[in-house]
Amino acid sequence: MANLLVTGGAGFIGGNFVHYWADRHPDDTVIVLDSLTYAGNRSTIENVKQAELTVGDVRDTSLVETLLRERNVSTIVHFAAESHVDRSISGPDAFIDTNILGTNSLLKAARTVWLDEGSGRQHRFHHISTDEVYGSLGPKDAAFSETHQYQPNSPYSASKASSDHLVRAYHHTFGLEVTTTNCSNNYGPYQYPEKLIPLFLLNALHGRNLPIYGDGMNVRDWLHVEDHCRGIEACLDNGRPGETYNIGGGEELPNMAVIDSICSEVDRAFQEIDGLAMRYPDAPAAKGRATSELKTFIIEIAVTRSTKQRPGANSAMSPTTTLKAA
Ligand SMILES: NC(=O)c1ccc[n+]([C@@H]2O[C@H](COP(=O)([O-])OP(=O)(O)OC[C@H]3O[C@@H](n4cnc5c(N)ncnc54)[C@H](O)[C@@H]3O)[C@@H](O)[C@H]2O)c1
């Protein structure tokens, strides 16, 4: 029986983790700390009996200290972040505030309660990070490894890289028992529809364009969120303090392949499921046409950086002026 503090537990991956953990550890209490930004939704976890939501900010160090002290928390799993690359390009400040200062605030609170106050409590601070700290993959590149050089390309990945370094430093400097996992692109339930898969699915159902930046050949590895949760649990059980572990799905795909399979799955669903055409009359598939006709190539006419690929290529919003090519 343990008390976990899960930050960002009303968001996509954090919310899935709360469900995953509660199902497998019914005697544990999961204290969720989430400030409920646009990406957080209390309904994601409201049917989880062992979950207790505190609406608050990870930057509120004294609130975190109180939760750690009064609820006898022995494990922090830190998901809370600003997580959307394109938003980090249009407004980096929130990413610096939450991802860097927020992580520092949690680390400070953990150090105070777990180390300085001499609780002697066995503890673990587990930090959730991204493989985007390593940069981008070309079509022929090997998968990232834990020793890959950090080469963040966006304010989002730079803020996550910075938080990774802080977590590591608290281990080496103060002896905090930390682990970090860097995972690839997650997909699954409860994802906010600004990310590629939920956004394109909704667009396909409502007959809206599917915007493709560049040639759509930007390669990412895709990881189902439940597999990610399983990896985090394995790391909590067996990970060595001070270590980092990559978690991937072994499914490296160019964005175009993901988009093509969304199109063909939507077409198939309209053929097989009665009533879909009535429910989504604007979908091309409702009129017997191919969803792929919604694919729209976007040509960027403002060059914003010198990397091979735009960091957020094929998430929803473009930070640059765009020209519709098809
Ligand atoms: N989604 C992915 O594919 C992916 C891939 C790699 C790594 N990650 C990392 O996983 C973690 C979770 O990502 P996600 O996709 O679930 O994000 P998300 O945007 O869906 O959820 C983030 C959650 O954090 C909360 N939050 C934001 N700022 C906060 C603050 N200052 N204090 C307290 N709560 C705050 C939000 O309300 C939200 O519930 C992030 O650290 C992200 O960097 C995500």
CATH code, domain carrying 46: 3.40.50.720
Cα–Cα distance measured from residue 196 to residue 78, given in angstroms and rounded to the nearest whole number: 23
Domain that residue 61 falls in: 3-190+221-250
pLDDT in tens, 176-196: 999 999 999 999 999 999 999
The pLDDT value given to residue 301: 60
Nearest-CA residue for atom 30 of ligand 1: 57
Q: Which residues contact 4 (CB under 8 A, 6 or more apart)?
A: 21, 28, 29, 30, 31, 73, 74, 75, 76, 77
Does a structural domain hold residue 196? no
Q: Which two tokens stand for residue 165?
A: 């370094």
Residue with tokens 């995972």: 183
Tell me the torsion sign for CA atoms 265, 267, 272, 277: positive
The pLDDT value given to residue 302: 53
Measured from the Cα of 190, ligand 1's closest atom is: 20
Nearest to 18 by CA among 105, 80, 101, 94: 80
Does a structural domain hold residue 269? no
Cα–Cα distance measured from residue 62 to residue 59, given in angstroms and rounded to the nearest whole number: 9
Pocket of ligand 1 (CB under 6 A): 7-8, 10-14, 33-37, 39-40, 57-59, 79-81, 83, 98, 102, 128, 130, 160, 183, 185-186, 192
Question: What letter would DSSP give residue 113?
Answer: I
- List, for the chain, all residue ranges whose pLDDT scores fall below the cut of 50: 303-326
Does a structural domain hold residue 198? no
Distance 318 CA to ligand 1 centre (A): 20
The pLDDT value given to residue 300: 65
Does a structural domain hold residue 19? yes
The pLDDT value given to residue 308: 36
Does a structural domain hold residue 264? no
Strand 252-254 versus strand 51-55 pairing type: unpaired
pLDDT in tens, 299-310: 766 544 433 344
User: Cα 51 to chain center, whole Å?
Assistant: 20
The DSSP element (H or E) to which 295 belongs, if any, is: strand 295-300
Out of 34, 131, 164, 221, pick the active-site residue: 131
Does a structural domain hold residue 80? yes
Instruction: Determine the Cα angle at 68 with ends 174 and 71, to 5°.
Output: 150
The pLDDT value given to residue 319: 29
Nearest to 231 by CA among 242, 244, 247: 247
Domain count, the chain: 1
Does a structural domain hold residue 295? no
Distance 11 CA to ligand 1 centre (A): 6
Does a structural domain hold residue 263? no
Q: Does residue 141 carry a catalytic annotation?
A: no
Q: Which residues contact 72 (CB under 8 A, 6 or more apart)?
A: 3, 121
Q: Does residue 134 carry a catalytic annotation?
A: no
Distance 12 CA to ligand 1 centre (A): 7
- 259 touches 249 (CB < 8 A): no
Distance 300 CA to ligand 1 centre (A): 28
